[in-house]
Amino acid sequence: MNKTREYIIERLLFLCAAITVFTTISIILVLLVEAVGFFQEVSIIDFLTDKEWTPLFADKHFGILPLVCGTLLTTFIAISVALPIGLTIAIYLSEYAPKSFRKIFKPLLEVLAAVPTVVYGFFALLVVSPFLQKFFPEMSGFNSLSAGIVMGIMIIPFISSLSEDALYAVPKSLREAAYGMGSTRFQTAFKVTVPAASSGIVVSIILALSRAIGETMIVAIAAGQQPRLTLDPTVPIETITAYIVQVSMGDVPHGSLEYKTIFAAGITLFVFTFILNNISFYIKKKYQEKYD
């Protein structure tokens, strides 16, 4: 009786795990099949080299570069905001702050990641953009700068929390060795603890990057919907994710070429995040046994 129960439980657990894997594989398959359909009509070379993305216009161009550029631009702005702030917070919390402060502050900070992204989007559009326009009057209401900055604020906890975990995990004995040789707190933090936790810190940055690349709502609301191959942060652009939203919500007929562009854009996005996730997995695996 007991044995049968154990067997059923084990199978059920396996089923749960299998469903997750199955879903992932299905998504990838759908992406691939539809993207193959797209590439039968548009050459891959055009897709990768054409400098315009106008699938919904009469004069159709299918160059992904403007969308990739928009995505990388907002991501770059976001990480430029999140990396210094997130790392500073992480180092302060693990090396300087009293334990009691750390206990209260860390969960509070993580609330940042729990704010719905649509709220961030409107914050960027209605608060940050008008504020920035006071300094740059030429700036458009929709722009990559305000979207990027707000996205950066959103991903701060990814960097600060995970990096802090990595710093905190550095053995106390290494800190003692540094103090024992006359290091100041600052020297101990930057010459011993941070290098020792570097793999964990890099992983946290990559996860934050991955999150920023995949972020949709903020950029769809605040960055505009004009695919444009530019590095100017003051003009409207469009990211891969924002384009997918735009087309999905429109009235593009199912099965048409316009419809298939979603999947071509989707698979490009997937390639980016897949590569980043693999890099972080590789770093984690390669360096994790270093400090046993």
Check: CB of residue 85 under 8 Å from CB of residue 161: no
**Structure-token match 């990768």, residue found:** 48
In the bound state with other proteins, the residue whose beta carbon lies nearer, of 7 and 291, is 291
- State the helix-helix crossing angle for 198-214 and 257-287, rounded to 10 degrees: 170
**What contacts 81, CB < 8 A, 6 or more positions away?**
148, 149, 152, 153, 156
Token duo for residue 192: 């011993």
- State the helix-helix crossing angle for 257-287 and 65-91, rounded to 10 degrees: 30
Check: CB of residue 155 under 8 Å from CB of residue 211: yes
Token duo for residue 292: 């046993």
Give the C-alpha separation, 241 to 258, whole Å. Answer: 15
Q: Is 177 in the site for other proteins (CB under 8 A)?
A: yes
In the bound state with other proteins, the residue whose beta carbon lies nearer, of 182 and 253, is 182
Q: From 63, 82, 75, select the one nearest 219 (Cα to Cα).
A: 75
Q: Is 184 in the site for other proteins (CB under 8 A)?
A: yes
Judged by CB under 8 A, how many residues of this single chain contact other proteins? 20
User: How far apart are CB 171 and other proteins at their closest, in Å?
Assistant: 7
In the bound state with other proteins, the residue whose beta carbon lies nearer, of 105 and 179, is 179
From the list 7-15, 34-42, 142-150, 171-179, the region that binds other proteins by CB under 8 A is 171-179
**What contacts 167, CB < 8 A, 6 or more positions away?**
90, 91, 94, 95, 193, 194, 197, 200, 201
Q: Is 96 in the site for other proteins (CB under 8 A)?
A: no
Three-state DSSP at 132 gives helix
Q: From 148, 145, 156, 150, select the one nearest 88 (Cα to Cα).
A: 156
In the bound state with other proteins, the residue whose beta carbon lies nearer, of 3 and 290, is 290
- Give the residue, chosen from 3, 5, 99, 254, that forms a contact with other proteins under the rule CB under 8 A: 99
Residue 142 Rama label (left phi>0; alpha psi -120 to 50; beta)? beta
Token duo for residue 66: 């403007």
Q: Is 173 in the site for other proteins (CB under 8 A)?
A: yes
User: How far apart are CB 278 and other proteins at their closest, in Å?
Assistant: 24
- Give the residue, chosen from 60, 61, 179, 207, that forms a contact with other proteins under the rule CB under 8 A: 179
- Give the residue, chosen from 48, 115, 181, 231, that forms a contact with other proteins under the rule CB under 8 A: 181
- Give the residue, chosen from 117, 183, 216, 234, that forms a contact with other proteins under the rule CB under 8 A: 183
Q: Is 291 in the site for other proteins (CB under 8 A)?
A: yes
In the bound state with other proteins, the residue whose beta carbon lies nearer, of 137 and 182, is 182
From the list 28-36, 42-50, 70-78, 178-186, the region that binds other proteins by CB under 8 A is 178-186
Q: Is 230 in the site for other proteins (CB under 8 A)?
A: no
Q: Is 168 in the site for other proteins (CB under 8 A)?
A: no
In the bound state with other proteins, the residue whose beta carbon lies nearer, of 172 and 254, is 172
Per CB under 8 A, contacts with other proteins among 187-206 are 187, 191-192, 195-196
Q: Is 176 in the site for other proteins (CB under 8 A)?
A: yes
Residues in the chain: 292
Q: Is 104 in the site for other proteins (CB under 8 A)?
A: no
Residues lying near other proteins in the complex (CB under 8 A): 99, 171, 173-174, 176-184, 187, 191-192, 195-196, 290-291
